[in-house]
Amino acid sequence: MATYKHWKLDSDAQGLLWVSFDKAGTGTNTLSGEVLEEFDKVLDEAAAIAPKGMIIRSGKTSGFIAGADIEEFLEIKSGADALRMVRRGWDPFNKLAHLSFPTVALIDGFCMGGGLELALACRYRVAVDDPRTRMALPEVMLGIWPLMGGVMRLPRVVAPTEALDMMLSGRSVDARRARRMGLVDVAVPLRVAENAARMTALEPPPRRKLPFAARLMTLGLLRPLIAAMARKQVAKRARREHYPAPYAILDAWSKYDGDPFRIPEGDPASIGALLATPTAANLIRIFFLQERLKGMGKETRFDARHVHVIGAGVMGGDIAAVCAMRGMTVTLQDQNAERLAPAMGRAQDLFKRRLRDKNRIRDASDRLIADTTGDGARQADVVIEAIFENLEAKRKLFAKLEKVVKPGAILASNTSSLKLADISANFANPARLVGIHFFNPVPQLQLVEVVSGKGTDPQIAKQAAAFVRAIDKLPLPVKDSPGFLVNRVLGPYLQQALRMVDEGVAPQTMDAAMERFGMPMGPIELADVVGLDICMAVGKELTGEAAPPKRLDELVKAQQLGKKTGSGFYLWKEGKAQKGAAGPVDEALIERLIRPYLKEAQQAVAEGIVADADLADAGLIFGTGFAPFRGGPLHYLKAGA
Ligand code: NAI
C-alpha cells in the first residue's frame, strides 16, 4: 500500500481496510486541499484493493474531523475560486459514496462541517457515546452552506425537518441524539466502538430507511412547501439582507438538491452570491476572533481542580454551577444555608438542562459543595469573590482569604465597578489579585473579562485566562478602568436610549430600530433584563451625569426594576416583554441610538483598555451581541459606517 502524509492504511486479517486520518503537523484534523487531494488517491487505492469493508477513523485522540481548513477560505477571491475549492471535497466524497463495499465512519469526538459531510458519504456511521462526540453542519455560522454534499445527504439520512434544523441553526448533536435521529447507525462506549465498526462493515445491516412521511418530504414536489415553512421560521430570526445563508440553504435544498455546481451564477443561493455580500467575510472574521480569544492563556499551564466561590447570589451561584458542570470540584460559600439554597437549586436545573444524562447530572451535583464555614478556600486553586458590591466588605473578606489560601492559588474578584487596586490596597501581596468578570446570565454568556489592575502579576492574569478557557468561556484581557470594556460601551448606549424615553420616543420603536440594525435585543428591553437598579447605578458611575433619566428614576423608586420584578419599561409575562406596535424606524433614529456605542468603543481602544481594535470587536460581539454580520463595531466604522 502507498504511504501518505495525512492518511494511514492498514488491512486486517478479516479483510477490512482501516483508513486513519492523522493530519501531519497539527493536533486537529481539518480538511485542507492537500488532505483532500490525498484522500482522493486513498479512495482509488481502496477501490483497487476492494476490501470486504472500509472503516475511516481519526488517528488523533482530539477528535474525528473539525471541518474544512478555514485558513484556506482567506484565499478565496471569487465564486469560481470557491467552487474550485468545493470540488476538491465534492468529487472524493461522491467517489466514497459510490464504493462497492460497505464503508463505515467511526466517529470519536468532534465531527463538524466537512467532517460530517465525509461521514455522511459513508454507508454507515458508528459513534462513540461520549459527551466529546458532537456532530454538526455549522457552515451557516460562517455565512455559507454545507457545500460538500451535506445539503444533499443529510436530509436523506435524517428527517428533512431535522436536517434543515441542524443546517439552519448550526447546532450540534451528541451521539445519543444522533442515534435517535438516525444520523448514526450505532452509538456505543469507546471500549466497544472499534468492534462495533468492524461488525458493521463485516455484517452490514440493511440500510436504514426514512419513515414514510419523512421520505415524502424529500420528494421534489413537497420540498418547496417544506422550504417555505422553514423560511417563515428563519424570517422570524434573521433578515435575508443581514444573513443570506439560511435562505440560500433552503433554496439549495429545494431547487438544486444541494449541488453547488447546478446553481446558476448569480442565483442568490450560489456560493458566489453569498461571498459577494460582506456577511460571509465578517462571520469568517468573527470565527478567527473567537479562535484568538480561545488562544488566550494557552501558553500557560494552569490546572484548576478546585474552585472556591464566595457569595451565592445571582452571579456566584451560577459561576459555581458552571465550574462544577465543567468537571471542577467547587465549594460555594455564603453566610448561611438559606442563602445557599436557591443557588444549589438553580445549579440542579442547569445540570438537568445541559447534561441530560443521569450519571453526569449526579456527578456534577456531587462536585458542587455548599460551604457555610469557608473552609473550602484552603484547598482551592482558584478563589472567586462574588459578594455584594461593597469595598469594605470585599477588603475584609480578602484580608482573611489571603492568610488561608494556598500559595499558588488565584485570588479573583467578580466586581463590576470597584477598582482592583482599591480592593487589594491592604494585601500583603497585591500582585495576586486579578479580576474575573463574568456576565449575567453566566451559563449563557460566553465572554469573561480578565482584568489586570496596575499591580496584577501578568503571569496570574494569564493563569486566570487559562482557567476561563477550562470552563469553556472566552477570556478577554482588559485593563482595570471603570466599566472595563463591555459595560463601559453599553453604558452611554443605554443612557442615550433611556434619555430618549424622556423625550417621548416609544421604547418599542427604539428596540425595533436596534433590532433592525442587527442587535439581538433593543436597548430598552436590555435595560429591563439587566435590571433598572443596576442600570441606574452603572449609569451614574460611568457617565458621571448628576441626574438620572427621569422615567428610569421613577421606575426605580417604584421598585419596578424590569424583568426580575415583572415590570419596568415593559410588563413582563412568562419571561417575555409585552410590547405594543413599534412606530416607523428610519436611519436617523438608528444612527442616533448607535452613535454613543461606537464612539465609546473607539475611545476605549484609544485608551488601551484592550490591546487592539480586533480584541475590542471580539469582546463587544461576544459580550453585547453587537450585530455579528457587521464584523464588530470598529470594523463597521472602518468599513465606512
Ligand atoms: P447578590 O446580591 O445577588 O449576591 C451576593 C451574595 O453574597 C449574597 O448571597 C450574600 O449573602 C453574599 N455575601 C455577602 N457578603 C458575604 C460574605 N462576607 N461572605 C459570604 N457571602 C457573602 O450579588 P450579585 O449580583 O451576584 O453580585 C456579586 C458581585 O458580582 C458584585 O461584585 C457585582 O458587582 C458583580 N457582578 C454582578 C453582575 C450582575 O449582573 N448582577 C454582573 C457582573 C458582576
434: which strand partners?
A: 412
- Say yes or no: CB of residue 389 within 6 Å of ligand 1: yes
Mutation test residue for ligand 1: of 387, 390, 442, 490, the one with most atoms within 8 Å of CB: 387
- Is 472 in contact with 555 (CB distance < 8 Å)? no
Instruction: Give pLDDT tens digits for 435-481.
Output: 999 999 999 999 999 999 999 999 999 999 999 999 999 999 999 99
- Find where cell 437549586 sits: 345
- Say yes or no: CB of residue 334 within 6 Å of ligand 1: yes
In the chain, % of residues over pLDDT 90:
91
Cα–Cα distance measured from residue 117 to residue 124, given in angstroms and rounded to the nearest whole number: 12
- Say yes or no: CB of residue 388 within 6 Å of ligand 1: yes
Q: Is 437 a catalytic residue?
A: yes
- Is 451 in contact with 479 (CB distance < 8 Å)? yes
On the question of pLDDT at 210 being above 90, the answer is no
Residue 435 DSSP SS3? strand
Closest Cα to atom 28 of ligand 1? 386
Query: What pLDDT is recorded for position 539?
Result: 83
- Ligand 1 atom closest to 531 (CA): 40
On the question of pLDDT at 69 being above 90, the answer is yes
Tell me what the mean pLDDT of segment 266-283 comes to: 94
CA within 13 Å, CB half, 304: 29
Tell me what the mean pLDDT of segment 239-258 comes to: 96
* Topology classification of domain 487-608: N-(1-d-carboxylethyl)-l-norvaline Dehydrogenase; domain 2 (1.10.1040)
pLDDT band, residue 215 (cuts 50/70/90): confident
- Ligand 1 atom closest to 394 (CA): 18
Kindly give the interhelix angle for 150-157 and 160-169, rounded to the nearest 10 degrees. Answer: 140
Closest Cα to atom 9 of ligand 1? 313
The β-bridge relationship of strands 134-136 and 173-174 is: antiparallel
On the question of pLDDT at 534 being above 70, the answer is yes
pLDDT band, residue 55 (cuts 50/70/90): very high
Name the active-site residue from 6, 306, 308, 437. 437
H-type alpha helices, 430-520: 458-470, 486-503, 507-517
Tell me what the mean pLDDT of segment 495-506 comes to: 96
How far apart are the CA of 304 and the centre of ligand 1, in A? 22
- Say yes or no: CB of residue 331 within 6 Å of ligand 1: no
341's enclosing H/E stretch is helix 337-355
- Ligand 1 atom closest to 415 (CA): 32
Intervals of CATH 1.10.1040.50 along the chain: 487-608
C-alpha cell read off for 274? 453569498
Instruction: Give pLDDT tens digits for 362-413.
Output: 999 999 999 999 999 999 999 999 999 999 999 999 999 999 999 999 999 9
How far apart are the CA of 479 and the centre of ligand 1, in A? 22
H-type alpha helices, 296-336: 314-325
- Ligand 1 atom closest to 312 (CA): 9
On the question of pLDDT at 630 being above 90, the answer is yes
String of DSSP letters for 522-554:
-HHHHHHHH-HHHHHHHHHHHH--SSPPHHHHH
- Say yes or no: CB of residue 577 within 6 Å of ligand 1: no
Other beta carbons less than 10 A from residue 467's beta carbon = 28
Burial of residue 555, with CB atoms counted within 10 A of its CB: 0-12 exposed, 13-18 middle, 19 or more buried: buried
128: which strand partners?
A: 188
- Is 134 in contact with 88 (CB distance < 8 Å)? no
Tell me what the mean pLDDT of segment 509-538 comes to: 94
The residue type of 449 is E
Distances (CA, A) of 119 to 55, 97, 190, 239, 460: 10, 10, 18, 32, 43
Closest Cα to atom 39 of ligand 1? 440
Closest Cα to atom 4 of ligand 1? 313
The total number of residues shown for the chain amounts to 641
Query: What pLDDT is recorded for position 21?
Result: 98
How far apart are the CA of 326 and the centre of ligand 1, in A? 22
Q: Which of 440, 434, 591 is nearest to 510 (CA)?
A: 591
Mutation test residue for ligand 1: of 344, 385, 388, the one with most atoms within 8 Å of CB: 388
- Say yes or no: CB of residue 335 within 6 Å of ligand 1: yes
Instruction: Give pLDDT tens digits for 287-336.
Output: 999 999 999 988 898 999 999 999 999 999 999 999 999 999 999 999 99
Residue 504 DSSP SS3? coil
- Say yes or no: CB of residue 315 within 6 Å of ligand 1: yes
Cα–Cα distance measured from residue 379 to residue 372, given in angstroms and rounded to the nearest whole number: 15
H-type alpha helices, 185-258: 190-202, 212-218, 223-237, 244-256
On the question of pLDDT at 115 being above 90, the answer is yes
String of DSSP letters for 592-630:
HHHHHHHHHHHHHHHTTSSSSHHHHHHHHHHHH---GGG
How far is C-alpha 274 from the geometric centre of its chain's CA atoms? 22
| Secondary-structure breakdown of the chain: helix, strand, coil percentages, each rounded to the nearest 5 | 50, 15, 35
What is the distance between the terminal CA atoms of the chain, rounded to a whole angstrom?
A: 58
Name the active-site residue from 254, 365, 413, 487. 487
Tell me what the mean pLDDT of segment 501-523 comes to: 96
H-type alpha helices, 257-336: 271-276, 278-295, 314-325
How far apart are the CA of 563 and the centre of ligand 1, in A? 19
In the chain, % of residues over pLDDT 70:
100
- Ligand 1 atom closest to 530 (CA): 40
Mutation test residue for ligand 1: of 308, 309, 315, 478, the one with most atoms within 8 Å of CB: 315
Query: What pLDDT is recorded for position 207?
Result: 83
Query: What pLDDT is recorded for position 17?
Result: 98
Intervals of CATH 3.40.50.720 along the chain: 306-481
Query: What pLDDT is recorded for position 213?
Result: 80
Query: What pLDDT is recorded for position 221?
Result: 77
Average pLDDT value over all residues in the chain: 95
Name the active-site residue from 414, 416, 424, 452. 416
Distances (CA, A) of 365 to 62, 310, 318: 27, 18, 13
Q: Is 308 a catalytic residue?
A: no
- Say yes or no: CB of residue 474 within 6 Å of ligand 1: no
On the question of pLDDT at 178 being above 70, the answer is yes
pLDDT band, residue 32 (cuts 50/70/90): very high
Tell me what the mean pLDDT of segment 137-160 comes to: 97
Residue 279 DSSP SS3? helix
- Ligand 1 atom closest to 317 (CA): 26
- Say yes or no: CB of residue 416 within 6 Å of ligand 1: yes
Q: Which of 149, 158, 55, 71 is nearest to 105 (CA)?
A: 55
Closest Cα to atom 16 of ligand 1? 387
How far apart are the CA of 387 and the centre of ligand 1, in A? 3
Query: What pLDDT is recorded for position 641?
Result: 60
- Say yes or no: CB of residue 541 within 6 Å of ligand 1: no
How far apart are the CA of 414 and the centre of ligand 1, in A? 8
- Say yes or no: CB of residue 20 within 6 Å of ligand 1: no
How far is C-alpha 297 from the geometric centre of its chain's CA atoms? 18
How far apart are the CA of 465 and the centre of ligand 1, in A? 22
On the question of pLDDT at 357 being above 90, the answer is no
- Say yes or no: CB of residue 387 within 6 Å of ligand 1: yes
How far apart are the CA of 537 and the centre of ligand 1, in A? 15
On the question of pLDDT at 218 being above 80, the answer is no
Cα–Cα distance measured from residue 269 to residue 271, given in angstroms and rounded to the nearest whole number: 7
CA atoms 233, 238, 240, 243: torsion sign: negative
Cα–Cα distance measured from residue 69 to residue 30, given in angstroms and rounded to the nearest whole number: 5
- Say yes or no: CB of residue 393 within 6 Å of ligand 1: yes
CATH no. for 7-276 = 3.90.226.10
Intervals of CATH 3.90.226.10 along the chain: 7-276
Residue 210 DSSP SS3? coil
> 306-481: CATH homologous superfamily?
NAD(P)-binding Rossmann-like Domain (3.40.50.720)
